[in-house]
C-alpha cells in the first residue's frame, strides 16, 4: 500500500526537488564563471607574452642591422681614439703668445 500525500506534502516534496535542482544549477554556473575568468586572465598573459616577444624580436633586428653597418677600423685609428688630446691652457703663457701674435712679432 502506498501512502497518500496531502497537497501540502506534495508541494513540499516538489519544492525540495526544485531547490536541489537550482542549487546544482548555481554550482554549475559559478564553475563556468570561474572558468571564463581564468580563460580571460590566461588570454591577457598570452597576449602580453606575444607582445614582449615581438618587441624583443624588433629590437634584435635593429641591433643586427646596426651591427651589420659597423665599419671595421684599423689598429692605428683605434689607438688614435684612445690617446688623450693635448691639454690647452688658458693662462699667462697663452696671453703672452696672443699678444705677440697680435703685435706681429715672430714667435720662432
CA distance 61 to 54: 10
Which of the residue ranges 32-36, 66-70, 78-82, 100-104 would you say has the lowest mean pLDDT?
78-82
The residue among 71 and 96 whose pLDDT is bigger is: 96
CA distance 85 to 87: 6
54 has pLDDT over 90: yes
Q: What pLDDT was estimated at residue 72?
A: 64
Q: pLDDT by residue (tens digit) across 6-48?
A: 889 999 999 999 999 999 999 999 999 999 999 999 999 999 9
88 has pLDDT over 90: no
The residue among 3 and 59 whose pLDDT is bigger is: 59
CA distance 21 to 23: 6
User: Three-class SS of residue 72?
Assistant: coil
Those residues whose C-beta lies under 8 Å from the C-beta of residue 101, and which sit 6 or more positions away, are 107
Element (H, E) at 59: helix 7-69
Cβ–Cβ < 8 Å for 107, 100: yes
74 has pLDDT over 80: no
> C-alpha grid cell for residue 59?
629590437
**pTM of the predicted model as reported, rounded to 2 decimal places:** 0.41
Q: What pLDDT was estimated at residue 1?
A: 45
Amino acid at each position: 500500500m502506498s501512502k497518500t500525500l496531502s497537497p501540502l506534502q506534495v508541494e513540499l516534496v516538489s519544492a525540495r526537488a526544485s531547490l536541489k535542482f537550482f542549487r546544482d544549477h548555481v554550482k554549475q554556473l559559478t564553475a563556468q564563471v570561474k572558468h571564463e575568468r581564468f580563460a580571460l586572465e590566461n588570454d591577457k598573459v598570452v597576449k602580453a607574452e606575444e607582445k614582449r616577444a615581438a618587441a624583443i624580436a624588433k629590437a634584435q633586428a635593429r641591433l643586427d642591422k646596426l651591427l651589420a653597418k659597423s665599419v671595421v677600423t684599423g689598429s692605428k685609428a683605434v689607438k688614435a681614439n684612445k690617446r688623450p688630446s693635448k691639454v690647452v691652457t688658458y693662462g699667462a703663457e697663452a696671453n703672452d703668445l696672443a699678444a705677440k701674435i697680435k703685435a706681429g712679432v715672430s714667435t720662432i
